[in-house]
Amino acid sequence: MNSVNTNVGAMVALQQLNKTNSDLFEVQGRINTGKRINSAKDNGAIWAIAQNQRATSSSLNTVKESLQRAVSTVDVALSAGESVSDLLLQMKDKALAASDTSLDTAARDALNADFKSLRDQVGKVVANAEFNGINLLKSGAANLTALANATGTKMTVQAQVMALGGSVVTVAAAASIGTAGAASTMVATLNTSIANVSASLSKLGTGSKSISQHLNFVGKLQDTIDAGVGNLVDADLAKESARLQSLQTKQQLGVQALSIANGSSQILLGLFR
* Residues of the chain above pLDDT 90, percent: 66
Three-state DSSP state, 85: helix
Mean pLDDT of 142-161: 94
Check residues 194 and 272 and name the one with the higher pLDDT: 194
Nearest to 210 by CA among 144, 254, 133: 144
* Contact by Cβ (8 Å): 218, 70: no
Cα-trace Rg, the chain:
39
**Neighbouring residues of 190: CB distance < 8 A, sequence distance ≥ 6:** 88, 91, 92, 95, 171
Give me the chain's average pLDDT, please: 91
pLDDT exceeds cutoff 90 at 141? yes
Residue 263 has what pLDDT? 78
Distance CA 84, CA 122 (A): 6
| pLDDT tens profile 234-253 | 888 888 888 888 988 988 99
Distance CA 5, CA 157 (A): 85
Check residues 120 and 27 and name the one with the higher pLDDT: 120
| pLDDT tens profile 44-65 | 899 999 999 999 999 999 999 9
- Assign 267 a pLDDT band (cuts: 50, 70, 90): confident
Mean pLDDT of 190-206: 96
- DSSP character for 137? S
Residue 182 has what pLDDT? 93
Residue 273 has what pLDDT? 66
- Assign 76 a pLDDT band (cuts: 50, 70, 90): very high
Distance CA 244, CA 142 (A): 62
* Contact by Cβ (8 Å): 148, 135: no
Distance CA 105, CA 109 (A): 6
- Assign 2 a pLDDT band (cuts: 50, 70, 90): low
Distance CA 103, CA 93 (A): 15
Residue 259 has what pLDDT? 86
Residue 1 has what pLDDT? 59
Per-residue exposure over 196-223, b if at least 16 CB sit within 10 Å of its own CB, e if not: bbeebbeebeebbebbbebbeebeebbe
Three-state DSSP state, 146: strand
Phi, psi of 197 (to 5 degrees): -65, -40
* Contact by Cβ (8 Å): 205, 29: no
SS (H, E, C) 152-209: CCEEEECCCCCCCCCCCCCCCCCCCCCCHHHHHHHHHHHHHHHHHHHHHHHHHHHHHH
Nearest to 245 by CA among 19, 87, 28: 28
Check residues 263 and 65 and name the one with the higher pLDDT: 65
Mean pLDDT of 204-217: 95
